[in-house]
């Protein structure tokens, strides 16, 4: 059954400060799915400060199941966390940091609706593209994105993603 068949099963809306506990719950579920449950150090307070303060670092959409479909489970069943960044080759881009729909609610069209809204946000913001990461073993997600026209930059352009952890940032800042 598609969302078109039951347009009132769920809605996607911008996250609000009171959604932080649910957003953190979904972040932890995603981390567990990616076999990294201990990696989440974030707190509800961090989300509140960083997403809803005077200078938000991220924006977020949430997918909310309507009351009659809820059945005593959580009301917020999916989310998409994103922010804007800049690429000196293409200009503005929307970076999709996290995208997750709870397993019991997959197949409802929630992911498709989240991507549709994110795409419109990117277009309205004059972004040249949307970037995101997918763990290499997550074949269902890779296939999902590629069916929708995503390019795998690691194979097509040969890019590698690197990071400096906080310890190394402190060392470099100290001139070590």
Residues labelled catalytic: 145
User: 35 — phi, psi (to 5°)?
Assistant: 60, 30
Look up residue 150 and give its two tokens.
């995503």
Look up residue 29 and give its two tokens.
């579920």
CB 51 within 8 A of CB 59: yes
CB 70 within 8 A of CB 46: no
Q: How far apart are CA 101 and CA 123, in angstroms?
A: 23
Number of H helices, E strands in the chain: 7, 5
Q: What is the 3-state secondary structure (H, E, C) of 38-71?
A: HHCCCCHHHHHHHHHCCCCCCEEEEEEECHHHHC
């Amino acid at each position: 059954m598609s969302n078109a068949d039951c347009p009132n099963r769920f809605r996607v809306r911008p996250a609000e400060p009171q959604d932080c506990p649910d957003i953190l719950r979904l972040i932890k579920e995603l981390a567990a799915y990616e076999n990294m449950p201990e990696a989440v150090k974030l707190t509800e307070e961090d989300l509140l400060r960083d997403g809803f303060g005077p200078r938000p670092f991220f924006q977020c959409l949430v997918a909310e199941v309507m009351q009659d479909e809820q059945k005593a489970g959580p009301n917020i069943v999916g989310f998409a966390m994103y922010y804007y960044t800049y690429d000196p080759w293409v200009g503005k881009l929307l970076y999709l940091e996290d995208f997750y729909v709870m397993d019991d609610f997959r197949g409802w069209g929630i992911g498709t609706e989240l991507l549709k809204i994110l795409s419109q946000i990117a277009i309205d913001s004059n972004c040249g593209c949307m970037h995101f990461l997918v763990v290499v073993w997550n074949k269902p997600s890779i296939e999902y994105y590629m069916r929708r026209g995503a390019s795998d930059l690691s194979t097509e352009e040969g890019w590698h993603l690197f990071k400096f952890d906080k310890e190394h940032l402190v060392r470099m800042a100290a001139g070590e």
